[in-house]
Amino acid sequence: MTEHDWNIPEPAVLNRVRTRLEASATEATEDVLATIVSVEGNAYRRPGAKMLFAADGTHSGSLTPGCLEDALQKAAADVRDSGTIQYVTYDMMEDDDVWGLGIGCHGIIDVLLEPLTAQYQPAVDAFANREDIAVITVIDSETGVHSRGDRAYYDPVDDRFTIPAGGSDNWPEDALADPARKMATHGRSTVLTITDAGNELTVFIDGVAARPELVIFGSGHDVEPVTELAAKNEFHVTVVGFRGGIPLSERFPYADETYATSPGSIEDVISLHDRTYAVVMTHNFVDDLLTIETLLNSPVAYIGLMGPRERFEQLLGELSESGATVTASALDRVYTPIGLNLGGGSPYQIAHSIVAELLAVHNEQEPAHLQSHAGPIHGRVAAEILKEDS
């Protein structure tokens, strides 16, 4: 690990956290985890972003483009020395503010810094198991029951709260369950103040969602840059090849999983669900036909296909002649030609086009130039999610 791994993806930060927690079982560690709790104005990262300050002086992740990292390192040292949680506000709204450093950091950022202990284990275990979880941390309390740093975990699948050993059991679960579920399943984070027995309780709900799953069908060299870029953009990447004799794991080192099978046996080796994004890059008409038929009959969220639209129409014609029925809702999930029009034609430029479209669909955003966007770049997604019907 390098001294400063600023730019690693968030999943890599969580994996480092898990590794350090495992190390703490056999050796003394004094690592500190910093998490953005809230932002006002413009900020580089949104709430939930994490940075690990290891006791050996190495750093993993980043919260700003360099505006606060030195200050955060000092705050982490204070947390390491005291062994207590800190909640720090950094105001960079003024142009001449020392934190802004004249490099475009203009916002107010609240950061939670905590000693990394086994209390955080449920979060990294859930992430490693590709499960959603909400980490609920008390920021402020008038209840007399809770204090800053108290923690609970919420599992949206089982609708169940878990309290770390030694923690308080008196959590207002009825009031917390719905927002915790929404944050966990969307991978968003928010600060919430509720009234518990007439007293205010302010908590930070940090949704840690499983990585979206990208399945790429094909084993050509053009798959390599797509795999790399998708992995660096926090997708769990699976490559499915239909040609024997190709060492898939060696050719695609950024893939989390690789499988060799036949187009008619896809679901024998992988599961397709509504959080799966599929990209078809076989460049073989028959392979594409069988793969597309499987995908159209599955609940996958996105089906991207290389090649012109006319080729897809030909595929649909073949499916129709075979008696297959393709619904309008299934066709709505098909993106062909795949990718955004970025004007590039090299393998990496094409890969950028594909992954950019994947991100836009996953984040439910209409691609556009940010210069035409009014308001904060990241918007206030968590607030919008909380307003959604359960």
Tokens of 151: 């923690």
What per-residue confidence (pLDDT) applies to 93? 76
Report if residue 167 sits inside a domain: yes
Do residue 182 and residue 291 come from a single domain?
no
Tell me the average pLDDT of the chain: 90
75-108: pLDDT as tens digits: 999 999 999 999 999 988 765 555 444 445 678 8
Q: Tell me if 386 is assigned to some domain.
A: no
Same domain, 169 and 91: no
> Does residue 175 share a domain with residue 52?
no
Task: Say whether both 229 and 332 belong to one domain.
Answer: yes
User: Partners of 40 in the beta sheet?
Assistant: 108
**Weakest-pLDDT range from 18-27, 257-266, 335-344, 345-354:** 18-27
Boundaries of domain holding 145: 132-208
Does 76 lie in the same domain as 44?
Answer: yes
Q: Is position 371 within any domain? A: no
What tens digit of pLDDT does each residue of 219-243 get?
999 999 999 999 999 999 999 999 8
Amino acid, single-letter form, for residue 333: R
What's the pLDDT at 136? 98
Structural domain contains residue 150: yes
Q: What is the pLDDT of residue 379?
A: 61
Say which residue, 377 or 120, is predicted with more confidence. Answer: 120
The pLDDT assigned to 91 comes to 87
Instruction: Look at 25-39, 115-129, 137-151, 369-383 and tell me which has the smallest mean pLDDT.
Output: 369-383
Residues 204, 273, single domain; the answer is: no
Q: Where residue 281 sits, what CATH number does that domain have?
A: 3.40.50.720
pLDDT band (50, 70, 90) for residue 350 = very high
Establish if 372 belongs to a structural domain.
no
Q: For tokens 């750093």, name the residue.
A: 59
Report the amino acid identity of residue 305: L
- Do 235 and 266 share a domain, yes or no? yes
Q: Same domain for 224 and 337? A: yes
Does the pLDDT value for residue 24 go beyond 90? no
- Determine what percent of the chain is predicted with pLDDT higher than 90: 73
Boundary-marking domain end, from 56, 90, 116: 116
Segment 47-72 shows an average pLDDT of 90
Residue 91: other Cβ atoms inside 10 A:
13
pLDDT confidence of residue 5: 82
Whether 356 shows a pLDDT value over 90: the answer reads yes
Q: How many CA atoms lie within 13 A of 254 on its CB side?
A: 18
Name which of 41-50, 95-104, 212-221 the model is least confident about: 95-104
Going by C-alpha positions, the residue among 253, 257, 221 that lies closest to residue 239 is: 257
CB atoms within 10 A of CB 131: 16
Strand ranges across the sheet with 160-162: 160-162, 151-155, 133-141, 199-208, 189-196
**Averaged pLDDT, 135-146:** 92
Residue 124, in any domain of the structure: no
387 in a domain, yes or no?
A: no
Gap between the Cα atoms of 51 and 34, Å rounded? 5
User: What's the pLDDT band for 41 if we cut at 50, 70, 90?
Assistant: confident
- pLDDT, tens digit (0-9, with 9 covering 90-100), for 242-298: 988 889 999 999 999 999 999 999 999 999 999 999 999 999 999 999 999 999 999
Q: Please check whether residues 12 and 147 belong to one and the same domain.
A: no
What does the pLDDT average to over 331-345? 96
Angle at 135 between CA 134 and CA 139, to 5 degrees: 130
217 and 353 fall within a common domain: yes
Burial zone of 13 (CB within 10 Å; 0-12 exposed, 13-18 middle, 19+ buried): buried
**What letter would DSSP give residue 174?**
H
Q: What is the mean pLDDT of residues 317-345?
A: 94
Q: What is the number of structural domains in the chain?
A: 3
Q: Is residue 248 part of a domain?
A: yes
Name the residue among 75, 145, 69 with its Cα closest to residue 114.
75
- Residue 381: pLDDT band (50, 70, 90) is low
Domain boundary, last residue among 64, 84, 116? 116
Task: For residues 68 and 90, state if they share a domain.
Answer: yes
Whether pLDDT at 329 is above 50: yes
Q: Which of 208, 238, 270 is the last residue before a domain boundary?
A: 208
236 and 340 both lie in a single domain: yes
